[in-house]
Amino acid sequence: MPVRRSCIAALVLCIAASAKADEAVSRGSVEVRFDARRRALLISDKEAGKLLDAGFARASVGGKELSTNAPAARLDVSADQAKCELTLAIAEGFRLRVRISENGAVELTPEGKPDGPVEFHATACLGSDAMPAILKDQTEEQDVLFTTLGNAAVPGAASLFAPEKDVALSVEGASPVAWVWREGWQLTAKAPAGKTLASIRIRRHYYRDELGIKYYAPIRKRTRWQTAPMVAMTWYGIKGWEGKPAQRKEWLYPQIDWVAEHLLPYAGTLVFQLDDNYLYNDDAYMRAISDYIRSKGLLPGIWFTPFTVPPKEVGQQHPDWFLHDAGGKLLMAFGGVNWNYGKAAPPC
C-alpha cells in the first residue's frame, strides 16, 4: 500500500509539472505566448490574428542537443510584462530571450554558451495563399522580377506576404533567414549567442498603407484555375498577323480538330486561344468559333492587349485610369506605349 501511494504521488507531481500555465507578454496589439502544453512559442496580433505557431529554439550545449520543445527537457519560462519579455531557459548554458520592442517588432536573442549557432524554427499562420516576398524597402533592384513554379524558396525573400489579409511578416537576423515550404511555410533562422536570431516585424495593410494602394483588394487567382492552364497558341501556327482577319473559320477549324485529337488527351484541360487579328465587330461569327471549340472538348480563349488603350482621347479624358510614377508621369508598359500601339507615348 505505501508503494502504491508513492506512485500516485509521483504521478500527481508529473501531471502538475506538465500542466504549468502558459506565459505571455504583450505590447499594443502584439502578443507573444508560450504554450506550456505543446512547448510552443506563438506570435499573434489583435488585428491580423495568429501569425507564427510552433516556434522553438535548438542548440548544442556541451555536446548535448537541447531544444525548447523537447518533452523531456527541463524548461523554465518566465514573463516580465514591464519589459515585454519572455525568457525560455533550458540548462545553464542556453536561454532564449523574446522581447516585444517599442515599435512592435518581436526580437529573439539566444544567450548563454552554446557550442555553436542557435536555430529557430516556426510555422507561419498566414493562410494557404501566403507567399515569400521581397518588399519595397528590402532591395534596390526595383526592376528585377522573381517567379517560381510552386512553393519554391526565393533567395533573399525575408518576408512572407498574405494577400487576403494584406499583412506581411518581415524578418531580419544576424544571418540570412529563410522561408521554406514543408506542408506550409516554415521560418528558419540561425545566429550565435548574443546576436539577433530573428527580429520579426508585423506590417499590417502593406499595400494600403505602405504602398498607398487605397482600395487594395487581393486578386483571387485560383478560383478558376488551380494550376496554370495549358494553352494552344495560334499566333505562330497560322500566322495570326496575316490577313484581315487572320482568325477565320477555314483556318481555325482544322487547327481545332488537330489539337483536340492529338493534344487534349495529354492535357486534361486545354485552352484553344484566338490570337490577335480576329473579327472584333462580329459577335455571331466569334460565337460560332467559340461554340465549335467547346464542341471539341476545348476551352475557348482570346488574346487581348491590356497595355494599350486606343483611342488616345480615352487616356486624356481619364488620366486616373492609368498608372503614374511619383512625379506624375505615365508608367510605360509593354513596348513603351500606353495607347496607339506601335507609336511612342506623348510627353507627360
Residue 49 near residue 127 (C-beta atoms within 8 A): no
pLDDT at 333 over 90: no
**Cβ count within 10 A of residue 36:** 16
302-338 exposure pattern, b = at least 16 Cβ within 10 A, e = fewer: ebeeeeebeeeeebeeeeeeeeeeeeeebeebeeebb
Residue with cell 544567450: 111
164-175 exposure pattern, b = at least 16 Cβ within 10 A, e = fewer: ebbbbbbbbbbe
Classify residue 264 by its DSSP letter: H
Fold of 21-210: Beta-galactosidase; Chain A, domain 5 (2.70.98)
By residue count, the chain amounts to 348
Phi and psi at residue 45, to the nearest 5°: -135, 140
What element of type H or E holds 256? helix 249-262
**Cβ count within 10 A of residue 205:** 16
* Digit-coded pLDDT (tens) for 288-299: 999 999 999 999
Phi-psi region of 283 (alpha: psi -120 to 50; beta: other; left: phi over 0): alpha
**Annotated domain spans of the chain:** 21-210, 230-302
pTM, two decimals, is: 0.63
Strand partners, 191: 118
* Digit-coded pLDDT (tens) for 171-202: 988 888 888 888 889 999 999 998 999 999 99
Classify residue 335 by its DSSP letter: G
Give 303 or 283, the one with higher predicted confidence: 283
CA pair distance 101, 201, nearest whole angstrom: 10
* Digit-coded pLDDT (tens) for 219-277: 766 566 666 778 998 877 666 667 677 788 988 899 999 999 999 998 888 999 988 77
CA pair distance 326, 310, nearest whole angstrom: 25
Residue 324 confidence class, pLDDT cut points 50, 70, 90 = confident
CA pair distance 269, 232, nearest whole angstrom: 11
What element of type H or E holds 316? helix 312-317
